[in-house]
Chain A
Amino acid sequence: MSDRNEFLHPDFEPGEFDRVERELRQSLATDVRRIQPPDRLDAILGAAHEAGPATGGAGHGARRWLVPVAAAAAVAAVIGGVWAANRGDNGQQTTPPMTNTATTAPSTPTPTSSSPSTSSTSTTSGPAQTAQATLPVYFVGPIGDSKPTYKLFREFVRGDVGSGQSAAQKAKAALVLAINAQPYSNTDGYLQPWSGQTIGDVQVTSQLITVDLASAGNPDAAQTQEVRRLAVQELVWTATAAAQQSVPVRFTVNGGSAKLFGSISTDQAFKRPSSSESWRDLAPIWVDSPTRDQVLPAGKPVTVKGQATVFEATVAWDLKRGTAAVKQGHATASIGAPDRGQYSIELGTLPSGTYTIHVWEPSAKDGSVAAERSVTFSVR
């Protein structure tokens, strides 16, 4: 708005367009109100990781028109199933060239991962190569209230996805990580409802993801009905995020139907709830960055970012260095409950040290903590 006054051409009278400007502004705002795009962040991050960083950068300014279009086209091609043969832009990931025939047919292939050992099956020449990818993985954890209530948290975890990197292989790799919450159970209190589980065959089509499990799940590992439901949803969110397909998920147990945890029938399709109902599954407060134990450069301002489904879109936060309080304040998410908003907290530059950022939702009733999340990071 800073250049509001200089925006209009000097030949025109001040105020000449006031009315049409106001009407246009209102009309545009009214017209787009019902456009509520679904969340695609997971798909964006997943596709970006899949494509890898773009190489080059020389002449970036001069070619600024071409670069985004070319990149978008390249990504669109990858998403459409037409794999660029060589992505040797990342030294550590020497993925063998895919030689799928390029085709413009929009039909989605039905990739199937072999079960249960994906690696080292087809070795045509040389040693088996597995590729690593950063995968979105969901876990059931305590939201931080006094009950405690459990919901889902998302982590980005690096894991082996096999050489093919198909949607099914990625979904399977992410599911394998999701059933093992042990690395986080001490630090974050994540439950381990799938302890002892094995992920079998995973199939991904444009309509459905099918996941075969080795067992129906131990009811003792997920004691309440809600934890059982969340344990299933944990796999639904993980599989759909890793496969980048927002489609229903069906489960089988050893190829047949069963009751998961003895109570949830596999004779149904499971889905992510709609965006305005995501609170049913997702923890009220996530801290997306800094990530756990991340080391940030000294002298650069630190910004905390995350997602929240909170009353009046308000979160409170404090920053501690060791046990000493450093700063505190409030932040406003982009939208309040029941929708899920994004919040951002500017901490400024911090002296070297180890810090814990604690973000919480004060209870509307009595000011107690309704939900919270803490992440420890270092500045060096």
Chain B
Amino acid sequence: MVERDSDRTGSDADAAVTDLYAAHWTGLVRLAWLLLRDDQGAEEVVQDAFIATHRHWAALRDEASAAAYLRRAVVNGARSALRHRGVQQRYTDRERREPTALGSRTEDSAEARVLEHETTTTMIGALGRLPQRQREVLTMRYYLDLSEAEIADALGISAGSVKAHAHRGLAALRDRMEAAS
């Protein structure tokens, strides 16, 4: 009754997803957290993205396209979570009200405030007040080190738009950082 898994597609997908998980789980949860500012929500969005990747493995076939698919699923999932749960509104409200807040983990914030540099709090606060697209582009670029083409693919926009969003975002951040210093 005990039988080894002989389903090639299934075990291929297991192996592929296990490998993708090793390479991308923490990074993508952190990306989702940067976009969502919600621990539980970030993990769920990324978990769903991995499950979807496993289920579509037959159509994806190689890890490069699977990684791209994962990123699209995470960005979409985060955006949809923001939309449906109104997290974005709460996030922007909180950032406006309390520009030095470091996210939703209030139990950590006392310690965090001591540890984090002022630059970080100012920068993250400024990032949080950028339009969603700019925030997405800058987060993927400067946290995940994704290329312009990878960001364009993940967001479903052109490379030119990625450039434009990156520039508006960076310019706004620079102005706010200068104003704050």
Per-residue interface assignment for chain B, residues 1 to 44, with 1 indicating a CB less than 8 Å from any chain A CB and 0 otherwise:
11111110111011101110111011001100110000100111
> Cβ of A149: which chain B residues have Cβ within 8 Å of it?
none
Q: Give which listed residue, B18, B117, B145, contacts A45 with CB less than 8 A.
A: B18
Q: Mark A12-33, 1 if CB is under 8 A from B, else 0.
A: 1000010111011111111110
- Supposing A9-B164, A34-B105, A35-B33 touch, asked if A134 and B142 sit within 8 A by C-beta, the answer is no
Q: Is the CB of B167 within 8 A of A8?
A: yes
Pair B25/A37 contact, Cβ less than 8 Å: yes
Task: State whether the Cβ of A160 lies closer than 8 Å to any Cβ in chain B.
Answer: yes
Footprint of A on B, CB under 8 Å?
1-7, 9-11, 13-15, 17-19, 21-23, 25-26, 29-30, 33-34, 39, 42-52, 54-59, 69, 72-73, 76-77, 80, 102-103, 105, 108, 112, 116-117, 119-120, 123-124, 127, 138-139, 141-143, 145, 147-149, 156, 163-164, 166-167, 170-171, 173-174, 177
CA distance A76 to B34 in the complex (A): 22
A52, closest chain B residue (CB): B55
Q: Please determine whether B22 and A342 come into contact, CB atoms closer than 8 angstroms.
A: yes
Whether A72 and B52, one on each chain, are in contact in the complex, defined by CB atoms closer than 8 angstroms, is: yes
Of A57-65, A94-102, A276-284, the stretch lying at the interface with chain B is A57-65
The contact sample of 6 A-B pairs, CB cut-off 8 A, is A17-B171, A24-B173, A27-B124, A28-B142, A45-B17, A54-B59
Q: Take A27-B123, A37-B26, A48-B54 as given contacts and tell me if A68 and B72 are in contact as well, using a CB distance cutoff of 8 Å.
A: yes
Q: Are B72 and A64 neighbours in the complex by a CB distance under 8 Å?
A: yes
- Which of A106-114, A151-159, A162-170, A367-375 lines the interface with chain B? A151-159
The CA of A293 and the CA of B4, in the complex, are separated in Å by 10
Whether, in the assembled complex, A205 has its beta carbon less than 8 Å from a beta carbon of chain B, the answer is: no
Beyond A48-B13, A65-B156, whether A41 also contacts B18 by CB under 8 A is: yes
A20 to B43, Cβ gap below 8 A?
no
Smallest Cβ-Cβ distance to A303: which chain B residue: B19
Contact A32 B55 (CB under 8 A): no
On chain A, the residues within 8 Å of B170 by CB distance are 17, 20-21, 24
- Say whether B80 contacts A64, CB under 8 Å: no
- Identity of the chain A residue whose Cβ is nearest the Cβ of B145 in the assembled complex: A1
Is B120's CB under 8 angstroms from A31's CB?
Answer: yes
B55 CB contact (under 8 Å) in A21, A40, A48, A157:
A48
The residue in chain B whose Cβ has the minimal distance to the Cβ of A297 is: B8
Contact present for A53 and B58 (CB under 8 Å)? yes
**A313 shortest CB reach to chain B, Å:** 12
How many whole Å from B55's CB to the nearest CB in chain A?
A: 4
Q: Cα distance A41–B5 when bound, in Å?
A: 18
In the bound complex, do residue B116 and residue A26 qualify as a contact, i.e. CB atoms below 8 Å apart? no
**If the complex has contacts A28-B139, A37-B43, A305-B15, are A158 and B3 also in contact, measured as CB distance less than 8 A?**
yes
A220 is an interface residue with CB less than 8 A from chain B: no
Residue contact A34 to B13, C-beta cutoff 8 Å: no
Given the known interface contacts A32-B30, A34-B112, the answer about A75 and B18 at a Cβ–Cβ threshold of 8 Å is no
| A206 in contact (CB, < 8 A) | no
Give chain A residues whose Cβ lies under 8 Å from the Cβ of B177.
20, 23
Alpha-carbon gap, A134 to B46, bound state (A): 22
Residue A294 is within 8 A (CB to CB) of chain B in the complex = yes
| A126 vs B76: C-alpha distance when bound (angstroms) | 44
Considering only residues 308-354 of chain A, those with a C-beta below 8 Å from chain B are 334, 342-344
B142 touches A54 (CB 8 A): no
How far does the Cβ of A46 sit from chain B's closest Cβ, in whole Å? 9
